[in-house]
Structure 1
């Protein structure tokens, strides 16, 4: 099977997982949002930065290094596995003894045992790092998808069951731990790789230059991407943090998750053709087009319907999160472009440039925090959006030093989808003006229908690149299905 066919098949499997999983997760999050208070979500939001930083330390950048290394073998995979488990155990011990400091910092005694129990996620995560990495490297996503599908009903049942029994924030802890544990069990059953009873320092040493720079850049990125959770939790209150967490989760669902779905498949595909400039360029342009084709209409539609969306889906108690969500929708438009450019740098082996630009972007973010934090959360997020725009321009600048995909080309690839989404947003806004004062759920349903119709009609009329690619793939799938039916007949 050729690289194109492998990549398309992986994209289909990954999208089936992500879209299916995110739909189910979304339903579960709606149920939990109606059962729990914003303050319960705020408490878990206070721990998010520690959990994500810990997960990244467990991976230690060597997962990416294992994918990027062309001649990686079983000895390399085993070294990454044992190193990850060691780091996970060290982090669990560290958080157990530092939990009182975290609780004191936020002035929230409940965080003491919430922190200690949540740290078990590191161990479960470390036991499946290599399994996930090898499946990604081989562009074989079916078993990874199945492990996630099988584990989610278990975690959803645990979370909702605990919420119905009034466990409060422990419902969210139970759901996350059961998800990690069950996913780890299923992936070990479905994928037969097992570590050797040996450990190679040589393997880690070979991957260290690339992996350490990726780790450093990722830690810097994660810290600053989640620093607002710390600031809002400390300077305001857990309820305000709960509102921000709800808006941030929606931003993650529609911008981050969808983009990373494409990136998860495109990175090994990019790495496989890193020395073939023409194929690499085609892949980069297709990734940009496809991401914006899917994400731009969702974010711009959500920007226009956010008050109806939040009120209808999560309940009126969550309406204070709407202003946060609107600003994050604008910031989210630049996330796919940043992510694709960073994937290009990493696939080219230029983790040094990736780290350098991350440092510059985070310096800008520190400036934003010092300038805007006193004016409230909205000012902080507007400043964050400005940093996202500058960060994208910076990523284009560094990418140009190793690749021919420049600012004009990327903007030209993104423009059709932004234009179609703007037309869709205008139509949705017109519905809102005409139907002002009507029943909220009815107005929201009409807005969604009108927006989808405008975007679909525009795509058919103007036929942008991603639309043509999707039509070609669909036609090819139909031809293969018919050929298979004829052979069976």
Structure 2
């Protein structure tokens, strides 16, 4: 199979896997949001901060280091597996011990037991990191798709049953544990690799020299992405955090899915051709242009339909989330682009530069947090919007230097997609503004009109990135 075929196949199956898993979780999330209160989602949001930070330590950048290394041995995989498992046990213990302190910090007694139970997920995840890494290194996302769908579907079904039976916040805890447990179990069943009781100091040092810098940048990024939840939970309330996390989850469905799809395929593919500068730039540009066409349209479209979508899907009690969602969509617009640019630095082995950039960008967020605490959540999100733009310019400037792809050239390449998305989003917003029907009917009309307007503009202008994506989809359909 050629590199292009591997890339296209990887993109398609990575897309299916991410979209399927995220969509299933999203649909179950809608049902659970109707059954549970904003406060219950807020409680999980408080715990999620500590889980995410712990998982950053467990991964420690080793997964990326293994993907980047061309000839990985059993010794390499086994060394990382043992390290991951040991760190998983360590952080489970730390969270178990610190659970009472976390409860006191947020002034929520219930968090003590929630933290201790949910921390089990750290051990579960540590057992399947290598299995997942091997599949990603092979650009095999078909099996991962199957596993994600089964795990998300089963866990979501159980969570809804528990919600109907009145388990409250615990149905969200069970959903997380069951989803990750099934995922880990199936990865072991369907992936033939098994660890050996080998821990090589040489292998560890080699991989950690690259992974350690990624660990620090990932840790900084994780703290940054979750610090707002921490601040809202501490200085506002669990209910306010529930509104924010629900808006974030609506926004992250498309932005995170697109980011995961592209970066999971981009890193192994770009690493494979890192010596061929011309080909590297060509594929890099194509990824950015086609990715941003999809991203701009979805994120701006989502902002335009925020009100009817939230009210019709999860109810009037979540109305406060509408404005948060509209503002967060602007932030999410830049996530995929920033991650693609960071991938280019990692491909060239410059994880040290990635770390420096993360430190600079996150220091800029400190004023945003302080102002948010003083003036409210909306002002905080406005600061996040500004930070996302600054982050994009920093990432694109430094990554572009490695392939002679300037910020100006990159902006010129993505400008047509942004203009088309703006025309579509404004049209959709005004259609909804003048419609005086029910929210669900308004939502259907807006989504249909948005898709129609986007396709018509792309067909009339013969947009190259649209034609490229259309060709990929057509090839896959014809093969079947």
What TM-score, normalized to structure 1?
A: 0.96
- In the alignment, which residue of structure 1 is the partner of 2:308? 308
Determine helix, strand or coil for the equivalent of 1:226: helix
Deviation at 1:260, TM superposition (A): 1.6
Gapped runs of 5+ residues in structure 2?
A: none
Q: Number of residue pairs matched?
A: 480
Alpha-carbon distance between aligned partners in 1 of 2:178 and 2:240, rounded to the nearest angstrom:
28
* Post-superposition offset of 1:333: 1.4
Report the counterpart of residue 105 of structure 2 in structure 1: 105
* C-alpha displacement of 1:205: 0.5
Aligned to 2:131: 131
8 Å Cα contact 2:39-2:238 kept in structure 1:
yes
Q: How far off is 1:447 after superposition?
A: 1.0
Distance 1:39 1:278, change over 3 A: same
C-alpha distance after superposition, 1:166-205 (max 9, x if no partner): 1111110000000011111111111100001221111110
Contact 1:304/1:425 (CA < 8 Å) preserved in 2? yes
Task: Quote the Cα distance in structure 2 between the aligned partners of 1:439 and 1:123.
Answer: 47
- Contact in 2 for aligned 1:147/1:190 (Cα 8 Å): no
Equivalent-residue separation in structure 2 for 1:92 and 1:352 (angstroms)? 29
Partner of 1:448: 447
Return the offset for 1:409. Answer: 2.0
Output the CA distance in 1 between the equivalents of 2:43 and 2:477.
49
Q: State the alpha-carbon separation in 2 of the partners of residues 372 and 317 from structure 1.
A: 23
Q: Which residue does 1:188 correspond to in 2? A: 188
CA shift digits 1:296-321 (9 cap, x unpaired): 11111111111111001111111111
Partners of 2:182 and 2:115 lie apart in 1 by 20
Cα drift, residue 475 of structure 1: 4.4
Deviation (angstroms), 1:26: 1.6
More off after superposition, 409-418 vs 162-171 = 409-418
Distance (whole Å) between structure 1 residues aligned to residue 143 and residue 472 of structure 2: 23
Counterpart residue number, 2:421: 421
* CA shift digits 1:74-120 (9 cap, x unpaired): 21011110000000000111111110100010010100010011111
Alignment partner, residue 466 of structure 1: 465
Gap change, CA 1:278 and 1:427, over 3 Å in 2? same
Cα offset, 1:479, TM superposition = 5.7
Secondary structure of the equivalent of 1:275?
coil
Q: For residues 51-66 of structure 1, what are the structure 2 equivalents within 5 Å?
A: 51-66=51-66
Q: Describe the shift of the 1:168–1:475 C-alpha distance in structure 2 as closer, same or farther (beyond 3 A).
A: closer
Map residues 311-460 of structure 1 onto 2, 5 A cutoff: 311-435=311-435, 437-460=436-459
Report the CA distance between 1:480 and its aligned residue. Answer: 4.7
TM-fit CA distance, 1:477 = 4.1
Alignment of 1:191-206 (within 5 A): 191-206=191-206
Q: Structure 1 residue 396: deviation in Å? A: 1.8
* 8 Å contact kept, 1:289–1:465: no
CA distance in structure 1 between the aligned counterparts of 2:60 and 2:50, rounded to whole angstroms = 15
Q: 1:23 Cα deviation (Å)? A: 2.2
Q: CA deviation at 1:434?
A: 2.5
Equivalent pair of 1:292/1:414 in contact (CA under 8 Å): yes
The CA deviation at 1:367 is: 2.2
Distance 1:461 1:350 in 2: 42
* 5+ residue gaps, structure 1: 482-489
